A = this chain, B = another copy of it.
């Protein structure tokens, strides 16, 4: 295959920031071959009000008129069941993102993952409204107590909390975001083992582009590849690749593209966590699918399954153009820059990718 139509594509985990970085990266959603983007709310301060999410979406829409933006709230004590119902009634958000406090960029206002009970009224309202709970599934690190938790088992340590949330809210749509471990893949498979219809899927997982490539060796000494959750062992990477290319509808694409200025990456301490993949999202993913002879499953991963889970309707799309990838080499640039001092280093900088992206009018 030298050309593949992937339809209306979606990336269900996108960080766009604010200000100059936002201006720089928002248009690259479309450059990377993505039509529908689910936007994360971890700004400073995080998005917890209707006014702010509406204003943010409006700004993004100005920057990228053809991109369809799905929006989210940041789970915190400022949210209430009433706000959830109000936001749902006007279609302002499609979900709520839960950050454990302190585990990644701008998560200081997050929640204690050992006790979600104070948020149960919010979760109940979300369940009623069909909103999605997006989980950053990591426990904070701790050593020397009954069980050590560190960056390598932080996700696996979180899985019992996911299991409990699903058990307590069996109709709540939950996504384990940017999952990185074989243990997580196994749990998502297990929770879906009796699901007969895609409409009945309640627990899904997103998988990033970069975690399909990376293991711990790749971020040891390479801040560009450092992200949270960290990339783990070769066996974990294989499980992710296997899940992404499986065609199973509860694994779909969420890039977690998370741009940081190069000055926050090229420093000797306190490197910011996050990999920027937006501008080449589809070529990265296609590269892996090609190695697995699974290009026939690519549309399921980057389009059908995500749109299905979120219930995205055609009438809500800003554009019905379809993303087509075609066989044409490109070298990942050194840097993406606005020429005025804002810049970000893309994933796999300097390396060759086999696929490029173009847009075509809706085929059917």
Interface residues of A (CB under 8 A from B): 141, 143-144, 148, 150-152, 215-217, 219-224, 226, 230, 233-235, 237-238, 262, 265-273, 345, 349
- Output the least CB separation between A136 and chain B (Å): 16
With contacts A143-B234, A148-B235, A268-B262 taken as known, whether A221 is within 8 angstroms of B216 at the C-beta atoms is no
In the bound complex, residues from chain B placing their C-beta under 8 Å from that of A262 are 268
Contacts of A221 in B (CB 8 A): 223, 226, 270-273
Nearest CB of B to A177, in Å: 19
Expressed in whole angstroms, the Cα–Cα distance for A237 and B143 within the complex equals 10
CA distance A267 to B334 in the complex (A): 13
Quick one: copies of this chain in the complex? 2
Rounded to whole angstroms, the CA-CA distance of A144 and B215 in the bound complex is 12
Give every chain B residue within 8 A of A349 (Cβ-Cβ): 269
With contact pairs A220-B219, A221-B223 given, residues A268 and B345 touching in the complex (Cβ less than 8 Å): yes
Instruction: Choose from B215, B223, B269 the contact partner of A143 (Cβ within 8 Å).
Output: B215
Which 10 pairs of residues, A with B, have the shortest CB-CB distance?
A143-B234, A266-B268, A148-B234, A221-B271, A265-B268, A266-B267, A224-B268, A141-B217, A223-B268, A222-B269
Task: Flag if A150 contacts B345 (CB, 8 Å).
Answer: no
Q: For A267, list chain B residues within 8 Å (CB).
A: 223, 266
Task: Note all chain B residues with C-beta closer than 8 A to A152.
Answer: 152, 216, 233
> CA separation between A185 and B265, bound complex, in Å?
35
Choose from B150, B234, B270 the contact partner of A222 (Cβ within 8 Å).
B270
User: Which of B150, B216, B269 contacts A215 (CB under 8 A)?
Assistant: B150
